Homo-oligomer: A and B are copies of this chain.
Amino acid sequence: MGDSTAPATRAARALDLTELHASLTDPVLDAMNFLNEVVSRFPEALSFAPGRPSEGTFATDDPARYLRTYTDHLKYELGWSEDRVRAQLFQYGRTNGIIHDLIARTLANDESIHVSPESVVVTTGCQEAMLLTLRALFARPEDTLLVSSPCYVGITGAARLLDIALCPVQEGATGPDPKAILAGVRQTRAAGGRPRALYVVPDFANPSGASMTVAAREQLLEIAAQEDLLILEDDPYGFFVREGSSRPTLKALDRERRVLHLGSFAKTAMPGARVGYVVADQEVIGPAGERTLLADQLSKIKSMTTVNTSAISQAVIGGLLIESDCRLRAANADAIAFYRTNLNTLLDELERHFPAARRRELGVDWNRPDGGFFLVVTVPFLADTKALEHSARNFGVLWTPMSDFYLDGGGSTQLRLSCSALTPEQIRDGVSRLAAFITGQASRAGR
């Protein structure tokens, strides 16, 4: 000790990035960082990049009122003593949450998902729900997660943290394709992997905007039963229908408890509270035959990630649920109308700038999602970070390269547009800028 002949060890110790966990040098992470960096360098640009919700009618004082609504509920409806109420806010709490009953009631009202409150795990945003679920289900190196591709980076990122093998399954024209999923399962198995679960966003997916038909949902559940696959269903955008009516979630159709339903309040309430949940009503059988819920197993993992979800945040979301009588879909009527107008405006403006003949001439097209925040534009040039920088600098408009959402290459000539955080006026202005950018690039590409 105190070896003064080794002055090299006395300097501040720098760490070598390549000696840190491999997830830190994942290209997807680099891509997201670059995107954030471009967004921050061009703060004046109109941005179709972020998928964040509109702040709508939210007021700074709302969280304090929701807190009061929740504690009043405990005191006056449930008859709790003042001491018990203050301990509920102040102390460590139940690992799986304190508003699980309100969430179960809301799921029954809004989604016809009928589950016991004990099968609901309240999490620090939906991201923690993904982490807990993946950690519990994936035990061995061969356990493989199938993901509908292009795919939300939150799930692939969580899988990377846990060194979980991934198998991307290409989406069809109307989103996740049951036949392609079946092929992915068999291909995984042929390569020595064990297909353990599939991650899918059935409604208005991020990034593609695509949705599964009801028939495709039924077919996917059949495949899951036949191939012994669990389904991780993520449904943050289901309320936000533009055209047609809401379709049943996979969980509402699930009669064999094959679906773990991941939930978020980030789009339907507020992202800042970081409250999400997972419905895990599967039975788990122990070595001595003892039966628990998968939710109870997730609880053990949650005690090692965040102990419990913030009681303050849960109380805020709890108060909001109580104020809306556990009917969040009805409470979102204005938001649903806002996003519908935005997506219609985006589609109309694209049509106005690129009518059919012009589209064919330029080699430009886009999909027309039935709802949600996103759509995908296909262009006749590389929609990469260089193009994005050009778009930001010279046209004042930002978007997301679709290639960021592919694990296996793909999307190189596609861009994702999000319209959730803009006004209709900004969308009109933004599409006009985007049209100038796309037309210029297409011309340079010789179209």
A283 contact from B14, B90, B182, B275, Cβ within 8 A:
B14
Contact A306 B306 (CB under 8 A): yes
A223 within 8 A of B: yes
User: A191 near B: Cβ within 8 Å?
Assistant: no
In the complex, which of the residues B6, B160, B304 contacts A226, with contact meaning CB atoms closer than 8 Å?
Answer: B6
Given contacts A60-B82, A125-B306, A312-B316, contact A136 B12 (CB under 8 A): no
Minimum CB–CB distance for A67 against chain B, Å: 5
Size category of the A interface is 35 or more
Q: By the criterion CB–CB under 8 Å, are A301 and B24 in contact?
A: yes
Which interface residue of A19, A22, A33, A292 has the most chain B CB atoms within 10 A?
A19
A12 touches B270 (CB 8 A): no
What separation, in Å, do the CA atoms of A111 and B408 have in the docked complex? 49
A58 at the interface (CB under 8 A from B): yes
A387 adjacent to chain B (CB < 8 Å): no
Can you list, as one digit per residue, whether each of A134-157 has a CB less than 8 Å from chain B (1) or not (0)? Answer: 011111000000000000001001
Rounded to whole angstroms, the CA-CA distance of A91 and B307 in the bound complex is: 24
Contact string against B for A residues 279-312, beta-carbon threshold 8 Å, 1 for contact and 0 otherwise: 0001111110001101001001101111111111
Give chain B nearest CB distance to A195 CB in angstroms.
Answer: 13
Q: Does A68 contact B (CB under 8 A)?
A: yes
- List residues of chain A with CB under 8 Å of any chain B CB: 1-3, 6, 9-24, 29, 32-33, 52, 55, 58-60, 63-64, 67-68, 71, 82, 85-93, 124-125, 127-128, 131, 135-139, 154, 157-158, 160-162, 178, 182, 219, 222-223, 225-226, 228, 230, 255-258, 266, 270-275, 282-287, 291-292, 294, 297, 300-301, 303-313, 316
